[in-house]
Amino acid sequence: MRLYFVMPFVQGGELYQVYQKEKRFNEVTVLFYAAQIIQAIGYLHDKQIVHRDLKLENILLDHTGYLKIIDYGLAKMLKDQEQTTSFCGTPEYLAPEMVDYSGHDKNVDWWAIGVLIYEMLIGVTPFFNPNRNQLMKKIQAAKVVFPDRKKYKIEYSDDIMDLIKGLLNKDKTKRLGA
């Protein structure tokens, strides 16, 4: 017996490939992509699905510039107020409640969106550390730090900083999207 997955060809490839060429996106582009991701995750959550592995590599870009979220291998059906304790996903995008095994719900996707927005805008994930243990500690305890705009020649508004901080709230009950 064989199982086949069939999906339409998506000409633009992975958003990660485009990101690698650009190194980071301007704020208008980030907001355009973020709006699409937020809408898609809202739809999944309405259907009781939590993705749990949002990252640039799991987002495809079509020929018109619109996104498609892929790779539902770690997705899980979760009813409202239901939690799970499985540890899964890409380390840089894990929410604190997943790292400390305290139980997670759909809010892990909102956290991952915050990480995605920060990464697309700044050029690195917010808690990046090559040492996995240090990365996990930073996810649990470190504040989100934004690089100096002038020094690094990165333009971003206070509004997008507020959006990112709201999505990266360590308290999942106060996280934007909760």
CA dihedral 153, 161, 48, 170 (to 10 degrees): 110
**Contact call for residues 38 and 59 (beta carbons, < 8 A):** no
Q: What does the alpha-carbon distance between residue 121 and residue 161 come to, in Å, rounded to a whole number?
A: 10
Alpha-carbon distance of 168 to 19, in angstroms, equals 21
In this structure, the number of other CB atoms found within 10 A of the CB of residue 64 comes to 7
Q: Does residue 53 carry a catalytic annotation? A: yes
Considering the candidates 46, 53, 109, 171, report the single residue annotated as catalytic.
53
Tokens describing residue 7: 């999906």
Q: Which amino acid is at 104?
A: H
**Residues with catalytic roles:** 53
